Amino acid sequence: MSINLLSRRVALVAAALVLALGAAVALAGCTGGSGNPGKPEAVGNRAAEASADASASGANPAAGDVVSTAMVVYNDGGTVLFVDQDTGSLYYPTLLGDVDDADAIIGLNGDDIDVDELTVGNIVQVTGNGIMLESYPGQYPGITKVEVIEQGTPADADQYADLIAEVVVAPDPAEVPSAYVEYTTDLAQTSVMLQAYDYDWVVPGDGNANADKRELDGDFDDAQGVLVEGVADARIAAPVDALIGFSVAPTNVVVERTPLVSTDKPAVDPNAEDEPIAATLQSDGTVTFTMEPGYAYEVDADFAQGEASYAFYTLS
């Protein structure tokens, strides 16, 4: 099970187009009440009740953790959406914390489950750092645990159908997938958009015509090793856990890096060999890895319709 379990192919199905850097909103500052749009009366106090139940059972969250309650309103196996039951806010739950895979998601019977086993209508207790990224829908990278506390039914989520329809859009098979890199520092939780600079992409035909092939033969650096315009940058002071997500789930991903030899005008040694790094493709289509400052990173991804390459660099 991914330590970043809930997301994240999600983040691009709709929300990756509106990712915002840095700025965050604390969930702890959100207030409930029957006047909040989208919040059913019947579940207004579930967060408080769940927290009280946890205290009564001795399962207190760690100091500094924020406990909230949400409904699972969409889950296609890779894209998952929650609605906060105090605020009525739609958000993508992601898991970017130091947690063990084995206890990241807990089912109604107390067993460990996979993200695919969360069902629409489930009421879940969400534990995390309380910081929501400012995007629409919001993103919650600081989740450390999700626990199902009520089974619910898919019909319970019907009230949120209009919200879901606004953001859940099937990927256009004619479009080469976009990507993003997401990471957390002491200062902020950040998502950076990546665009393919090299690809071979097959657009399915209509059954009566041959498939259309799209190609782009490019490099992320020039002959002198200077990174080309448009290569995204990430600012980190030390190694951090990070993930890469895509608007379409890949079948295989290879991540390589090359040291920067210049940061004023970001460049690599054009004769240097790329260094493959450890990267794990998760069941939700995201890739987890450790990102370090001072490198240009290349991401080569295979998809059912072709392949594409992306790049970004890191500065301290």
Q: Are residues 151 and 219 in the same domain?
A: no
Q: Are residues 204 and 56 in the same domain?
A: no
Q: Look at residue 254 and tell me if it is in a domain.
A: yes
Look at residues 167, 197, 220 and tell me which one is the last residue of a structural domain. Answer: 167
Q: Look at residue 3 and tell me if it is in a domain.
A: no
Q: Are residues 18 and 162 in the same domain?
A: yes
pLDDT at 4 over 50: no
Question: pLDDT-derived band of residue 51, with 50, 70 and 90 as boundaries?
Answer: very low
Report pLDDT for 206.
Answer: 60
Q: Are residues 242 and 217 in the same domain?
A: yes
Q: For 11-25, 80-94, 262-276, 289-303, which range has the lowest pLDDT when averaged over its residues?
A: 11-25
Report pLDDT for 96.
Answer: 41
Q: Could you tell me the CATH number of the domain that includes residue 280?
A: 2.60.40
Q: Are residues 31 and 161 in the same domain?
A: yes
Q: Are residues 154 and 114 in the same domain?
A: yes
Whether cis (ω within 30° of 0) applies to the bond prior to 137 is yes
Domain count within the chain: 2
pLDDT in tens, 65-79: 899 999 999 998 667
Percent of residues, the chain, with pLDDT higher than 70:
75
Domain range for residue 195? 179-315
Report pLDDT for 177.
Answer: 94
Report pLDDT for 156.
Answer: 96
Q: Are residues 23 and 97 in the same domain?
A: yes
Q: Are residues 28 and 60 in the same domain?
A: yes
pLDDT in tens, 92-141: 987 644 344 446 899 999 999 888 889 999 999 999 999 888 778 888 98
Q: Look at residue 108 and tell me if it is in a domain.
A: yes
Q: Are residues 116 and 20 in the same domain?
A: yes
Look at residues 113, 135, 167 and tell me which one is the last residue of a structural domain. Answer: 167
Q: Are residues 111 and 238 in the same domain?
A: no
Q: Are residues 81 and 224 in the same domain?
A: no
Instruction: Round the average pLDDT of the chain to a whole number and report it.
Output: 80
Question: pLDDT-derived band of residue 263, with 50, 70 and 90 as boundaries?
Answer: confident
Q: Are residues 21 and 151 in the same domain?
A: yes
